[in-house]
Amino acid sequence: MLITSSNQSMDIVDLAQIPQAIETLARWHYDEWQQLYPEESLADFIADLRASTAAIPVPSTFVARENDVLIGSISLLERDMEIDEPWTPWLANLFVHPDYRQRGVGKQLIKHLTQFCRANAVKQLYLFTPESRSYYETLGWTLVRRQAYKGQMVDIMVRAISAEAP
């Protein structure tokens, strides 16, 4: 998917197409979320991203680039929380580099993932967030519940994936 605006062009590609990005993305993800996964090392984050390059829908990771510079990522995972619920799959790893925030990159990544889910017959999608509930609500997500998770309060949210385009 190629998105152009003024003098910038952003594309979103499957991580399997650019596996050389794994270590950079893993470092970004580790730095951003290690407090939620204290038992995991940087090597674990790298292994998780490598697993998402297999030719199956879940797990998958997509990468946003602007003029071939990595600017963000999003993943589709079978599980993103260790909880006693059968909910699957999960939007995870939505990350936009700080230099590219507030420019719609996250929204474009979510749109891309939603289209991917629709194409792969995913009926609904879950996520959890410690801080961004209002952002996701503006994009059509609904709160399932708020709960303590690994020392933080998080919001678990769901979004139906309709047959029509968003």
What confidence score (pLDDT) does residue 36 get?
84
Q: What average pLDDT values come out for the chain (166 residues) when binned by 10 residues?
A: 56 97 98 90 96 94 96 96 91 97 96 96 95 95 95 94 64
Nearest to 74 by CA among 122, 35, 115: 115
**Distance of alpha carbon 39 from the chain centroid:** 21
What confidence score (pLDDT) does residue 81 get?
85
What confidence score (pLDDT) does residue 7 get?
43
CA distance 12 to 108: 9
Classified as helix, coil or strand, 150 is coil
